[in-house]
A = this chain, B = another copy of it.
Amino acid sequence: MPATTRLWVENRLLQDLPITERIRLVEQCDTVELAFGTVLCEPGHPILHVYFPRTACISLVTTLYGHPPLEMGLIGNEGMLGATLALGINTAPMRAVVQGAGSSLRMNCTQLRIALRDNPMLLCRLNQYLFVLLMQLAQTAACTHFHEIEPRLARWLLMTHDRAHANHFHLTHAFLANMLGVRRSGVTLAAGALQQRRLIRYTRGEITILDRKGLEAASCECYSAINTDAQ
């Protein structure tokens, strides 16, 4: 195995850092397997660890009393959970749930604080990522309000597809309903429509993306809006 492989961390936020800083950071991380459904933090509670997903995928959801949860943002290997530490704030703004099981680098929150102090490049990257998250939040909020279930579902599948590194993943209608903040049978309808158009296929929680281009056409413009922001 060549020496460079050792430094390949499968997380773009870390990967984009200069090599010396990257090594130092990764050495302070441990690798954890995140199981589907695990709640990594709750709003208002202190952050203990930050996560740099490798193959895992983490949802940021808001909860309103008496209502199902609602997803506001999605974190894959392009980002991290806990970027608000860059603001010097130790409190989680939202609930974070593992939405796609997989591996992730994990770092102690106090170690990250020290790293942020000593490492201006890291701070800069986290700040940039926070900005992207902010835009994502705003876009998602408007999308959730104005757009219909079907395009929203398509967008959601695309975003997950981007982060899952596979065109096949496990997702039940009930789970999707929670993410989109709608009824379960609403998802059944929308998913049925997408399946009939041969864009996806699903059976008992196993979803396969058949036609990415078609899904992009079926999704609302929010997908491309968020993606162009991110770059």
- Asked if A130 and B87 make an inter-chain contact with CB atoms under 8 angstroms apart, the answer reads yes
Is A128 on the interface with B (CB-CB < 8 A)?
yes
> Which residues of chain B are near A127, meaning CB under 8 Å?
86-89
State whether A145 and B88 are in contact (beta carbons under 8 Å apart), knowing that A65-B221, A93-B138, A138-B137 are contacts in the complex.
no
- Asked if A84 and B131 make an inter-chain contact with CB atoms under 8 angstroms apart, the answer reads yes
Is A140 on the interface with B (CB-CB < 8 A)?
yes
Distance between Cα atoms of A67 and B225 in the complex (Å)? 15
CB distance from A67 to the nearest CB of B (A): 5
Is A62 on the interface with B (CB-CB < 8 A)?
yes
Is A143 on the interface with B (CB-CB < 8 A)?
yes
- Asked if B128 and A87 make an inter-chain contact with CB atoms under 8 angstroms apart, the answer reads yes
- Asked if A131 and B94 make an inter-chain contact with CB atoms under 8 angstroms apart, the answer reads no
- Asked if A131 and B72 make an inter-chain contact with CB atoms under 8 angstroms apart, the answer reads no
Classify the secondary structure of A's interface with B: helix
- Asked if A138 and B94 make an inter-chain contact with CB atoms under 8 angstroms apart, the answer reads yes
Q: Chain A: how many interface residues by the 8 Å CB criterion?
A: 38
Q: Can you tell how many copies of this chain the complex includes? A: 2
Q: Which of B65, B87, B130, B144 interacts with A145 by CB under 8 Å?
A: B144
- Asked if A93 and B141 make an inter-chain contact with CB atoms under 8 angstroms apart, the answer reads no
Is A3 on the interface with B (CB-CB < 8 A)?
no
> Which residues of chain B are near A139, meaning CB under 8 Å?
62
Distance between Cα atoms of A39 and B44 in the complex (Å)? 33
Is A135 on the interface with B (CB-CB < 8 A)?
yes
Is A124 on the interface with B (CB-CB < 8 A)?
yes
Distance between Cα atoms of A25 and B144 in the complex (Å)? 40
Is A214 on the interface with B (CB-CB < 8 A)?
no
- Asked if B144 and A93 make an inter-chain contact with CB atoms under 8 angstroms apart, the answer reads no
- Asked if A93 and B131 make an inter-chain contact with CB atoms under 8 angstroms apart, the answer reads yes
Q: Which of B88, B131, B135, B146 interacts with A64 by CB under 8 Å?
A: B146
- Asked if A134 and B137 make an inter-chain contact with CB atoms under 8 angstroms apart, the answer reads yes
> Which residues of chain B are near A145, meaning CB under 8 Å?
70, 141, 144-145, 181
Hey, which bits of chain A sit against chain B, CB under 8 A? 43, 60, 62-65, 67, 70, 72, 84, 86-89, 91, 93-94, 124, 127-128, 130-131, 134-135, 137-147, 181, 221-222
8 contacts between A and B (CB under 8 A): A60-B138, A62-B139, A63-B142, A64-B142, A89-B131, A93-B134, A93-B138, A141-B145
